[in-house]
Structure 1
Amino acid sequence: MREKLNINKVSFYIALLCFILSINILINEKKSPAYEVFNNKSNKTYVYPLGNIIGVRANTDGVLVVGYEEEDVEYIGGLQRGDNIIEVNDIKIKNSEDISNIIRNSKDGNINVTFERDKKHITENIKLKKENGEYKLGIWVRDKISGIGTATFYDPNLKQFKAIGHAITDVDTNELLKIKEGNIYKPINLEIIKADDNNHGKIKGEFDTTDSIGRFNSNSKFGISGKLDSEKYNEIQLIQVADSEEVELGPAMILFEDANGNVQSYDVTIKNLIKDEKNEKNMVIEVIDKNLLSYTGGIIQGMSGSPIIQNNKIIGAITHVFKDNPKKGYGIFIDEMLE
């Protein structure tokens, strides 16, 4: 939520972030050999592969500074873009309205603000502005996120789902958002905006916030994770998790929900492997499946998290699309998401 912090007015700004999850998976019969049921062995890891589209909504832990009322300002009282405000006058901040209420009740026009920057907590005493008899801080903040994304797998050992494959970051500051609590939903009225050489594609949809199918409070550079409220994943066949050393160049497939709401497998090619511990973009992937190209034009916003399957094992997830070629994108190794 983005808000101008003054005594009388609260403006809301909700950023869309693209990511996805699901529950039911249907596999094309012609490609069913990729989903044989495996017998568990002590030295192997197995998960339920997902791939359906979900709506995501979350509250941040604190509020994120995303801008200033005056465009030529670089900071206010020590506050910078990307800082996460967690307390004001020793009061825990849950949302932007909390800050507005404290400013409204300020007696001397000064407040103590505790914020997080680079994993360090800093406290600054900040003098408020006074205009037309009203105190204000002069910053814009965000406290909620909402969007569409893709789920990767459900881990029966940890009893957690994993989705997206990359961090949820703020659209203005590119800072990783600290999530206090979030929910996932089954979206309705889905619309696929097809990608082409000149435009990025995306998934659009709506969801009923009273009908949650899962909860999460973890957002890392490898995506989100949490608990499902349903056990329909048990209808899916377990699949073995591949070690990153087993991933090879050549044919693979991804799972993604079709226009009928069923998850199907689509052919891709692993074009390059990037084995760099500091890089979350581990694979270069090219979509070659004619059905998927006809449906989406390639990799689109909201497909992040789509599982990648090779040699009857889950090897990773889609994370990004090339800026100049929607048929190509990046993927992350699955063992990175399991850490």
Structure 2
Amino acid sequence: MDFRKKKVLVLLLAVIFLGLGLQLPFQTLRNMPLHQHVSVGDSIDYDINLPEFLTNQFEFNIDGVKPSCFHLGQTTPVAAKLGDLKVEVRLFGIIPVRQMMVSVVPEIRVIPGGQAIGVMVDSEGVMVVGRSAIIDEKGERHNPAAEAGVELGDTLIKINGQKVETESQVRALIDKMGQLKKPLSMEFKRKNTKEHYHTKISPIYCNETQRYRVGLFVRDSTAGVGTMTFYHPESRSYGALGHIITDIDTCQPINLNSGKVVGARIEGIRMGKKGQPGEKLGVFRAEEQISGNITKNTNCGIFGKLDKDPKNLYSKTAIPVAMASDIKEGPAEIYTVLKDNKIEKFSIEIQEIIPNGKDEGKGMIIKINDSKLLAKTGGIIQGMSGSPIIQDGKLVGAVTHVFVNDPSRGYGVLAEWMLYTANVLPKHVSKRKNEQFDVRTNVAC
């Protein structure tokens, strides 16, 4: 066979190999996050669970250094010092197919939570949770707010230039301007956006309530029971719930104005069933030695600072927080309260890790397999949100959502995401300087 024919054959085989054998590796590489974090001294595992003959076709170049014989599917030591590493994946060690950044961050230790907490939130402005027709003295029906384009989930920020914070304040201003026969200049924030809009609405006298109304139901606060995830003693920062607080009627995120957390006691459990989530039945108890503010309401949970160290702990020992790259599928544990204020440990399984789910706060799929917990709750229930997930002695995340049709399974948020949101872990560790890195190339082959 002459050289030209041999070259064509090699190219043909390469195309077939790339089109069939490497389709899954390429898809997996595309799904890898562009920016990962590891604690200083830890390693990164790029194992994608493929046959060795496939994974060996990919090699890594780390910060311009090619670790000897390092291929996809192996674990490599990373920088011994803080900073950023540029990681490039190459096919056959030649063709670049993926570039990623790895940030080496300080190891953070926190005290795992599990305590039941009462959560009280006051919204920015008042949220529109309903609309209703107004029947005037002539028996005619009106809804001026609906006609003005106000939607459920919108937030009323100001009336006639005056900030509004409570339901009673809104009710009084509407009635006052109605008696003066003057229209209201109202400023709203549109649901799911940052857009503000202004409209003028003329109140109508309601024969049923005997006061002037515009046809809206509003709510200024919400409260419920949840679970604390972690406490960082050095900064007194905490994280809880693992998901954003939404309005019960509109399911829209609450724009936080202020809020606080207090201790709670669990006095009962309503078991979860298929199609019917269960819940913890608790009462707020200030004497439970937990009190603090709420400064953030996010997709990764609520965050703030405690007034003092919590007394009710499963363990007083601070444990490391796992970065996303440390977490693996397999057995883990959660801490939560089922009765009074006693924190207990229960076994679960991490079934899937979702590194790109940060926007929704869904970083893993978990399954409850502890027979005691299943017998008491039926699985994941409301009020369990925020229960810390521990794996190999590290905090890896928190319980967040339940699968309605399978209460034994649900989602968890990654602890790394919670730490960044809480500002416990800095987003930018240091400026990039090549001399900061100590990339080890003595990987055994």
TM-score, reference length from structure 2: 0.63
Q: Distance in 1 between matches of 2:287 and 2:215?
A: 34
CA deviation vs aligned residue, 1:46-74 (integer Å, no higher than 9, x gap): 11110111112222121001110139979
Q: How far off is 1:188 after superposition?
A: 3.6
Q: Report the Cα offset of residue 220 of structure 1.
A: 1.1
Contact 1:65 1:140 in 2 (8 A): yes
Unaligned runs of 5+ in 1: 1-40
Residue 102 of structure 1 aligns to a residue in which SS? Answer: helix
2:266 and 2:336 map into 1 onto residues whose CA distance is 17
Aligned twin of 1:227: 305
Contact 1:51–1:255 (8 Å) recurs in 2? yes
Aligned-residue offset at 1:75:
2.6
1:191-210 pair list within 5 angstroms: 191-197=268-274, 199-208=276-285
Match of 2:130 in 1: 67
Structure 2 letter corresponding to 1:221: N
More helix as a share of residues: 2
**Equivalent AA in structure 1 for residue 317 of structure 2:** Q
Pick from 355, 359, 364 the counterpart of residue 275 of structure 1.
355
Maintained 8 Å contact 2:390/2:397: yes
**Most deviating of 150-159 and 165-174:** 150-159
CA radius of gyration, larger in: 2
**How many Å separate the matches in 2 of 1:127 and 1:96?**
18
Confirm whether residue 45 of structure 1 aligns to residue 122 of structure 2.
no
Match for 1:290 among 365, 368, 371? 371
Q: Which amino acid aligns with 1:293?
A: L
Distance change in 2, residues 1:157/1:123 (3 Å): farther
Shift of 1:199: 3.4
Give deviations 1:113-172, integer Å, cap 9, x for gaps.
Answer: 111121122221112223447421110111110111111001234421110000001122
1:109–1:135 Cα contact (<8 Å) kept: no
Counterparts of 2:372 and 2:285, CA distance in 1: 30
Unpaired runs of 5+ residues, structure 2, are: 1-81, 83-104, 135-141, 421-445
What pairs up with 1:83-94 in 2 under 5 angstroms?
83-94=154-165
Q: Which residue of 2 aligns with 1:250?
A: 330
**Take 2:275 and 2:250, find their aligned partners in 1: how far apart are those partners?**
25
3-state DSSP of counterpart to 1:299: coil
Conserved? CA contact 2:332–2:392, under 8 Å: yes
Residues 262, 109 of structure 1: CA spacing in aligned structure 2 closer, same or farther, 3 A cutoff? same
Question: Residue type of the partner of 2:301?
Answer: G
CA distance in 2, matches of 1:254, 1:180: 31
**Separation of aligned partners in 2, 1:260 and 1:116:** 40
What residue is the counterpart of 1:112 in the other structure? 185
Structure 1 position 239, deviation (Å): 0.8
For residues 126 and 191 of structure 1, do their structure 2 counterparts lie closer, same or farther at Cα, with a shift above 3 Å needed? same
Rounded to whole Å, the distance in 2 between the matches of 1:165 and 1:131 is 43
Q: Distance in 1 between matches of 2:332 and 2:247?
A: 32
Which residue identity lines up with residue 241 of structure 1 in the other structure? V
Q: How far apart in 2 are the matches of 1:109 and 1:264?
A: 59
User: Which protein has the bigger strand share?
Assistant: 1
* Mapped contact 1:75–1:81 kept (Cα < 8 A): no
The residue matched to 1:199 in structure 2 has which SS?
Answer: coil
Identity %: 33
What is the DSSP-based 3-state SS (H/G/I as helix, E as strand, rest coil) of the residue aligned with 1:104? helix
- Larger RCO, structure (CA 8 Å, separation 6 or more): 1
2:294 aligned partner, one-letter code: F
Residues 251 and 310 in structure 1, CA contact (< 8 A), matched pair in contact too: yes
The aligned residue for residue 238 of structure 1 is: 318
CA offsets per residue over residues 77-122 of structure 1, 9 Å max, x none? 2321111111101111010111111112212230011111211222
Q: Mark the CA change 1:210 to 1:315 in structure 2 (over 3 Å): closer, same or farther.
A: closer
- 1:334 counterpart = 2:426: no
CA contact (8 A) 1:252 1:268 kept: yes
The letter of the residue matching 2:296 is: S
Q: 1:155 aligns with which of 221, 232, 238?
A: 232
Residues 155-211 of structure 1: CA distance to partner in whole angstroms, max 9, x if unpaired? 234421110000001122211101222222222462111223463211112225798
Residue 434 of structure 2 corresponds to: none
- In the alignment of these two chains, the number of paired residues is 299
Write the letter of the residue equivalent to 1:120.
E
Deviations 1:312-333 (A, max 9, x none): 1101000101111111111111
Change (3 A) 1:323 1:189: closer
In structure 2, the CA distance between the partners of 1:221 and 1:76, relative to structure 1 (3 Å rule), is: farther
Provide the C-alpha distance between the structure 2 equivalents of 1:258 and 1:100, rounded to a whole number of angstroms: 40
- Report if aligned partners of 2:236, 2:308 keep a CA contact under 8 Å in 1: no
Residue pair 2:241, 2:302 contacting (<8 A) in 1 also: yes
Equivalent of 1:126 in 201, 216, 231: 201
